[in-house]
Amino acid sequence: MRRGIFHKILSTKKVKFQDLKSLYELPFFELLTKAREVHDLNWPKNEIQLCTLLSIKTGGCSEDCSYCAQSARYKSGVDAERLMPKCDILDRAKAAKENGSTRFCMGAAWKGVRKNTKRFDEVIEIVKSVSELGMEVCTTLGELGPEEAKSLKDAGVTAYNHNIDTSPEHYPNIVSTHKFEDRLNTIRNVQDAGMSVCCGGILGLGETVDDRLKMLEILSNFNPAPESIPINKLMPMPGTPLAGANPVDTFDVARTIACARISVPNAKIRLSAGRTALSEEAQALCFFAGANSIFYGDKLLTANNPQTTQDLKLLKKLGITPQSPNPEMEAPEANSQLPLAPQSA
C-alpha cells in the first residue's frame, strides 16, 4: 500500500490531494527515505544553490498580508523607504557574488508594477545591470500583467518569485486586499513570458496540514512546473496580526519538504525564511528530505538570516558544495499532453 502511493505520485500526470496526504502520513523515516531516493535520482550531485535576497524597496506596502512587516497597515517598526539607487543595488549584488551566491533576488514592497511608470522603468534598468554580473536574476515585485512579465524577461530576469502562501481555502484568512486567483494570474503571465516560476508557501499561518497539502497539490500540477519552491517557516513579526503565532514543528517542516521533493522532483526546494529558528541538525534533516537551495546572507527582507560564515561551516560539515551559477538557465518546458496550469481567471 505504502509503496503503491509512492510510485503512484511519481508516475501520475496529475498529483492529487489524497495521494499527498497518504504520503505525508507515512512513518517519518520511511517518508524521508523515499524523498531522498527521488532527490538523489534527480539531483545526483551533492550541491546546494546559494541565493541572496535584497529588499530594494522596503515598507509602505498597501496590501494587508497578515504575516508581513512591510504592510503600511501595521505598526511593525518598518518604515517606508524609496527604491534603492541602482549603484547601491549593484554593490550588494557584486558582494553577494563574491560571497558565493549564484542567484540574486530583488524584492520590492509593492502591490504590483505597471509598464510606462517611473518605478518600473527604474527596475528594468537595475535588472539589465545586475544580469551582466553572471548571476541568475530573480525579482519579486507583486502582481504582473503580460506586458510587464515580457519586459522583465527581456531585461534579463531568470526567475520570478510569487508565492501562493497556503491553500485557496485558507488564503482569505491571511489577506483580504487581493484574491488567491490574482496570484495565479501573475504566475500564468510569468510562465507565458518564458520566465521560470519560483513559487512556494509559508508554514505557520494558522493553517492545517490539509491546507499545506492542498497548496502542494496546486504547485505540483503547475504546467510548466515551478523551477523552485521556497518553503518558509513563519517568522512572527512584531506588530503584525500573526505576531503571536505558534511555531511550526520542525518535523512538519521536514515532512512538507519531503512531499514537495517527491511531488515536484525536478524543482529546487528552497529552505527559506525561518532558518534562524532551526538548529544545524534540523537544517541537515531538511537537506536530507530534499531541500537543495537556501537564502544566504545576513538579512532576509526585514528578518535576520544565518550569517554566511555559519552557512559555509554547516555545508562543509555536511559535505555539501555550492552549486555553480546558471545565468542562461532556461525555464521548464510545459508538458504538451496536459493543459497549461494555472489557468488565468
Residue 161 domain flag: yes
Which uninterrupted H or E stretch holds 137?
A: strand 136-140
Nearest to 231 by CA among 271, 281, 196: 271
List 198, 199, 259, 286, catalytic entry: 198
DSSP secondary structure string for all residues of 227-295: SEEEEEEP-PPTTSTTTTPPPPPHHHHHHHHHHHHHHSTTSEEEE-TTGGGS-HHHHHHHHHHT--EEE
Residue 337 domain flag: no
Active site residue 259: no
Residue 344 domain flag: no
Nearest to 148 by CA among 164, 129, 124: 124
Active site residue 105: yes
Q: Identify the pLDDT of residue 5.
A: 64
At residue 299 the predicted structure's pLDDT band, cuts being 50, 70 and 90, is: low
Average pLDDT over the chain, rounded to whole? 91
Residue 331 domain flag: no
Per residue in 8-32, pLDDT (tens digit) is 666 667 889 999 999 999 999 999 9
pLDDT of 312 over the 90 cut: no
Where is average pLDDT lowest: 48-52, 73-77, 84-88, 195-199?
Answer: 73-77
Residue 95 domain flag: yes
Structure pTM?
Answer: 0.93
Per residue in 201-221, pLDDT (tens digit) is 999 999 999 999 999 999 999
Secondary structure of residue 210 in the 3-state scheme:
helix
At residue 301 the predicted structure's pLDDT band, cuts being 50, 70 and 90, is: very low
List 51, 103, 138, 212, catalytic entry: 138
Q: Identify the pLDDT of residue 1.
A: 43
Residue where the block lists cell 499545506: 212
The better pLDDT of the pair 304, 333 is held by 333
The predicted model gives 87-111 an average pLDDT of 91
Q: Identify the pLDDT of residue 81.
A: 85
Q: How far is 128 from 181, CA to CA, in rounded Å?
A: 30
- Distances in Å between the Cα of 286 and the Cα atoms of 77, 264, 270, 326 are 32, 16, 10, 24
Q: Identify the pLDDT of residue 273.
A: 83
Nearest to 123 by CA among 157, 92, 78: 157
5-2-224 Cα angle (round to 5): 25
Q: How far is 317 from 232, CA to CA, in rounded Å?
A: 23
Domain that holds residue 136: 2-322
Q: Of all residues in the chain, what percent carry a pLDDT higher than 90?
A: 74
Active site residue 198: yes
Contact between 42 and 266 (Cβ < 8 Å): yes
Contact between 135 and 97 (Cβ < 8 Å): yes
Q: Identify the pLDDT of residue 306.
A: 53
List 103, 183, 188, 270, catalytic entry: 270
Per residue in 170-193, pLDDT (tens digit) is 999 999 999 999 999 999 999 999
pLDDT of 302 over the 50 cut: no
Active site residue 199: no
The predicted model gives 85-99 an average pLDDT of 92
- Label residue 324 exposed, middle or buried (CB < 10 Å: 0-12, 13-18, 19+): exposed
The predicted model gives 313-325 an average pLDDT of 91
The residues near 11 (Cβ < 8 Å, ≥ 6 apart) are none
- Residue length of the chain: 345
At residue 3 the predicted structure's pLDDT band, cuts being 50, 70 and 90, is: low
Contact between 109 and 70 (Cβ < 8 Å): yes
Question: Hey, what's the cell of 251?
Answer: 518535523
Q: Identify the pLDDT of residue 107.
A: 93
Q: Identify the pLDDT of residue 267.
A: 97
Residue 189 domain flag: yes
Contact between 161 and 205 (Cβ < 8 Å): no
Residue 333 domain flag: no
pLDDT of 300 over the 50 cut: no
The residues near 139 (Cβ < 8 Å, ≥ 6 apart) are 105, 106, 107, 108, 123, 127, 152, 157, 160, 161
Q: Identify the pLDDT of residue 4.
A: 64
DSSP secondary structure string for all residues of 57-102: E-S-BS---TT-TTBTTS--S----PPPPHHHHHHHHHHHHHTT-S
- Cα 127 from chain centroid? 19
| Cis ω for the linkage preceding 306 (within 30 of 0) | no
Q: How far is 17 from 77, CA to CA, in rounded Å?
A: 39
The better pLDDT of the pair 291, 73 is held by 291
Active site residue 261: no
Residue 132 domain flag: yes
Number of domains present in the structure of the chain: 1
Instruction: For residue 309, give the CATH number of its domain.
Output: 3.20.20.70
